[in-house]
Copies of this chain bind each other. A is one copy, B any other.
Amino acid sequence: MTDKTSALDAGRDIVAKLNPPLEGQLAEAYDELVPDFAETLVEWAYGRHYARPGLDLKTRQLCTIAALTVLGGQTAPQLKVNIRHTLSAGASRTEIIEAIWQMAVYGGLPAAINGLNAAKELFTELDAAA
């Protein structure tokens, strides 16, 4: 892809499927501190990765769930947001939990348990809002 505007547009198309308010929320939270933050993130993460062909969106999101879990409990804010995205991408709660629990093998029990804790919190928030 050599047309940089397309990376941002492609990223925005993905965000429209996963979490439409995301870019606006990021801009509100960070653009004052870091000029161009929201646009850069959407272009990089969603345009330059999630929008790529070769791996479907639901699997990409489950890979992200696994990665955030194995990194450790400090990624809880990002894990919770990405669990929402993974549900939007068509995964079930069971698939998400299984990807998290599997990380006990590769990152150890603390990382996996803290991932399960983040998932429980997020599911509780979703159920309360339902």
A residues with a Cβ closer than 8 A to B are: 1-2, 4-5, 7-8, 30, 33-37, 39-41, 43-45, 48-50, 52, 54-55, 59-60, 62-75, 77-78, 94-95, 97-99, 101-111, 113-114, 116-117, 119-120
When all copies of this chain in the complex are counted, the total is: 6
Bound complex: CA of A5 vs CA of B94, how far in Å?
25
Q: Classify the interface of chain A: helix, strand, loop or mixed.
A: helix
A98 to chain B, nearest CB (A): 4
**Of the residues B34, B40, B107, contact of A67 by C-beta under 8 Å:** B107
A38 to chain B, nearest CB (A): 11
Chain B residue numbers with a CB within 8 Å of A37 are: 101
B97 near A54 (CB under 8 angstroms)? yes
A7: nearest chain-B partner, CB-CB: B4
A63 near B4 (CB under 8 angstroms)? no
B102 near A49 (CB under 8 angstroms)? yes
Chain B residue numbers with a CB within 8 Å of A74 are: 72-74, 110, 114
